[in-house]
Structure 1
Amino acid sequence: MLLVIISWIVLGLIAGAVARLLVPGPDPMSIPMTALLGIGGSFVGGFLGYVLFHKDLGEGALQPSGILGSIIGAIVLLLVYRAVGGRRRVRR
């Protein structure tokens, strides 16, 4: 079980980092926030994959399409984050 959690964190970090590289612009996020972005993207990508293609965990958890879905989900979450919470900067 610990190995599964560690692999989720590592894959989440990779998916979040790729999403941050693909979406231009500054993102002042720490490494743990990038990992959470990727993990959240995995949930969003998994949900979208299930809704659109009717695929689920019973067909295999670690597939190239799942990793791609995680990256797409992380991009969606990053864009939502920018639209909702990314403008909380203080102007002087």
Structure 2
Amino acid sequence: MNIIAWVVLGLLAGAIAKAIYPGYQGGGILATILLGIVGAFIGGSLGVLLATGRLALAAPTFSLPGLALAVIGALLAIFIWHSFARRTI
């Protein structure tokens, strides 16, 4: 997948995840894109784990199921981020 597709998938997944997750997350457009890209890797890796039983670093394709995996991964990334941010403050 080329870099433009990664940015678009990251922006979409990050924006959807921020809209779904309750509360204020902060961050601008760059944080949303990075959150979505990290979420794509988390979601893709979880998809590979569920499908094959092996944990491998993977990313979903640019499709509706891939976007759904990226959003799920981005929601997990937000949850993990907030868990660590609450402990340090």
Same fold (TM over 0.5): yes
- Runs (5+) with no aligned partner, structure 2: none
Computing the radius of gyration from Cα coordinates, the structure with the larger value is 1
Residue 28 (structure 1) aligns with: 26
The DSSP-based 3-state class of the residue aligned with 1:53 is: helix
Q: CA deviation digits over 1:51-74, x for unaligned, max 9?
A: 0013x9xxx822321110000000
CA distance in 2, matches of 1:33, 1:47: 21
The DSSP-based 3-state class of the residue aligned with 2:23 is: coil
1:10 to 5, 8, 11: 8
Return closer, same or farther for 1:87/1:30 CA change in 2, 3 Å cut-off.
farther
Return closer, same or farther for 1:86/1:6 CA change in 2, 3 Å cut-off.
farther
Letter in 1 for 2:35: L
How many residue pairs were aligned? Answer: 83
Taking structure 2 as the reference length, the TM-score comes to 0.82
Residue 38 (structure 2) aligns with: 40
Residue 64 (structure 1) aligns with: 64
> Would you identify which runs of 4 or more consecutive aligned residues in structure 1 move more than 3 Å?
86-89
Q: Percent identity?
A: 39
